[in-house]
Structure 1
Amino acid sequence: MRVLTPEEFSRILGELPTRYAAMVLTDIETGLRWGELIALRPTDVDFLRRTITVHRTIIEVPRPISPTGERMMVKHYPKDDEARTLRISGDLVESLSRQVAALDLSPEQLLFSSTGRAGGGPISRNTFRTRVWLPALERAKLGFHVRFHDLRHAHASWALAGGADLKAVMERMGHAQITTTQRYLHTLPDSDDKALAAFARVRDRLA
């Protein structure tokens, strides 16, 4: 598995239109699935406790088979099942706070909409990929292909390489089985060095 490094991510971020920065930063820091990311609303963010709670996902379906006739369908997660609460950094809290203020979003409006304005609908994965993500990749000139979903892989790999607990990462990612999370161990070139450094930090604290 080829995992995006922090330096490579920064190059992609630098080539993205500014209006998508908060969305992409949210994904790399939380590892949310696409549908979970585009379903986020201001009410899902606790700006004081610095958490995001994932209550729902948005699924794209062909209109002919949609029970409502809508292409974007919201699926709410059962309480205490797939719903989860994730800690986020102060920097991301500030970025999301600016997003809410700049767009004058109400608590139930989408944080990241297709129009980039308050009241907009969900972002289409394919539209984002073709009009935003692929052009940014081309400008970043990384020399290899990166899917948006790879940000989720990078989140898990970076956390584990930095010494995070495997079960904590499993819960953060919403994995049903810990074996799924284990795939992200040792995927960065310097992961073993970081694991040793994490061990040393705990050892020194106990000394």
Structure 2
Amino acid sequence: MISESRSLGYTKKRKGKNGKYRYTACYVDIKGRLRSAGTFTNKKEADKAWQRAEVEVSRGRTGDPARGRQRFKDYVEDVWLPNHQVEVTTRESYTYAIYRHIMPTFGSMRMIDILPEHVREWITALKNQGMRPVTIRYNKIILSAIFTTAMDDQVTFIHPCRGVRTPPVVRKPLEIITPEQFDDVYHALPEGSFRLLAETEIESGLRWGELSELRVKDVNLRTRILTVSRTVVELNPKFHPEGRHFLVKDYPKDKEYRRFKLSTQITEKIEDHVRTAKLTQDDLLFQMPPQDKPRARITEIPDPETLGCTEPNEKGRTYNHGTLSAYTAGRCRCDYCRGAFTLYRAKRRSEGKDTPRPRRARETDGHIPNDWFRRNIWCPALPAAGLNFRPTMRDLRHAHASWLLNGGADLQVVKERLGHASIATTERYLHTLPDADETALEALARTRNRSTTRK
């Protein structure tokens, strides 16, 4: 039997067509296959080539101490990231966190040199930078996952993250939007499909990816049963298999389909929307609106002599409002000065002197981007409710669960409806509305009043 430490590489001499000798460097890879490390003009170079190849092979053998001498950056980029099986959204998040927060500290260090003391120093540095405890914990989870795999691969024999603590993450109480507050926001939304989208969310508790991927065929209008079988995620194109922005997954977050019933009134509104918009069974129920509406343009500027002058610039000069000089030299950005510059640029473009920049449009395949909806539709409607916090569409999912439990719905039914993996997650929504403890207070008052009447 051949010893594991014995060299299996060699140099093979062969004669070329021109009569000159060539030397091929041969080595055996980790799977026992004979491979070539290249062909050279002299034996010395060939020997060096197969020896280098054997060193690389040895790094792949279990228990070889040389494996731990590779840099953290090389292990993560060559081994861990390419082969770690996670969702594409998780891979995108992991990649950002690794290069933003982990690689600057550990990238140049050898795997065997990273110790718990280095991890503690790193956590302290992140805390001193003002990073939130929940973000520190997330980054430490990623680092720990890397070293767990490294230990399984026998790259290292010590786990530097074990026993290292992160700052405590305090779980804040959920702020739940009340039915009255939701009604105020609802009526401040643009009429049409966006109101229906918000109402469907509050009545179903869907995650945003499930809601924005909802199609006509997913709602049985006769039985009022909604089937959640897909979700859509938005990605940086370099993480998308086809270089796009939206990726539809044929399963929701919990990787199990779920079905539940909708109320009669929301089903009727959905049916009316499908009929009015002439949607087919495969169409998205809520679609990104057209983005080709032209911007409003100013067409006329009053006489600049009647508009007054700008504030003095750094040279003490003033200019009449509504002139190019006021915009460029006076740096005034009032409506009149902006209008004068707009008209000037429009005239040059009409004369072919400038190439107009194409109108910016959000790249989408019909799905509504979460951040676009938040900035352009949802947030502008929030001031109407006079809230002291800014609820998101995810908070409507929280509100759905809280309203159900506050109304007496069974805890297990709510868990299945929302697709929670654990009932402990659903229990978080118990007693979250402002009036949820009224019954307890009334019981307390009755007990105290009983002692007062005795006196």
- TM-score normalised to the size of structure 2? 0.41
Is 2:191 the partner of 1:18? yes
Q: How does 1:183-198 map to 2 (within 5 A)?
A: 183-193=428-438
CA distance in 2, matches of 1:171, 1:194: 27
Q: Tell me by how many angstroms 1:91 deviates.
A: 0.4
Alignment deviations for residues 107-141 of structure 1 (CA, whole Å, 9 cap, x no partner) = 0000001027xxx7100001001001110112333
For 1:157, the equivalent position in structure 2 comes to 402
Q: Which runs of 5+ in 2 are unaligned?
A: 1-173, 291-364, 441-455
Q: Once structures 1 and 2 are overlaid, which stretch shifts more, 150-159 or 69-78?
A: 69-78
Q: Which of 22, 35, 38 is equivalent to 2:212?
A: 38
CA distance in 2, matches of 1:52, 1:155: 15
CA distance in 2, matches of 1:24, 1:172: 18
Q: Which of 262, 267, 289 is equivalent to 1:115?
A: 289
Which structure ranks higher in relative contact order (CA pairs < 8 Å, sequence separation ≥ 6)?
1
Q: Which runs of 5+ in 1 are unaligned?
A: 196-207
Q: How does 1:8-157 map to 2 (within 5 A)?
A: 8-19=181-192, 20-77=194-251, 81-115=255-289, 121-157=366-402
Aligned length: 191
Is 2:252 the partner of 1:7? no
Of structures 1 and 2, the larger Rg is shown by 2
For 2:153, the equivalent position in structure 1 comes to none
Q: Is the 8 A contact 1:100 1:111 kept in 2?
A: yes
CA distance in 2, matches of 1:192, 1:51: 33
Q: Is the 8 A contact 2:182 2:385 kept in 1?
A: no
SS in 1 for 2:434: coil
| 1:85 alignment partner AA | R
Q: Tell me by how many angstroms 1:3 deviates.
A: 0.7
SS in 1 for 2:393: coil
CA distance in 2, matches of 1:81, 1:164: 25
CA distance in 1, matches of 2:186, 2:200: 12
- Percent identity over the alignment is 46
For 1:179, the equivalent position in structure 2 comes to 424
Q: Tell me by how many angstroms 1:193 deviates.
A: 4.9
SS in 1 for 2:285: coil
Q: Tell me by how many angstroms 1:87 deviates.
A: 0.5
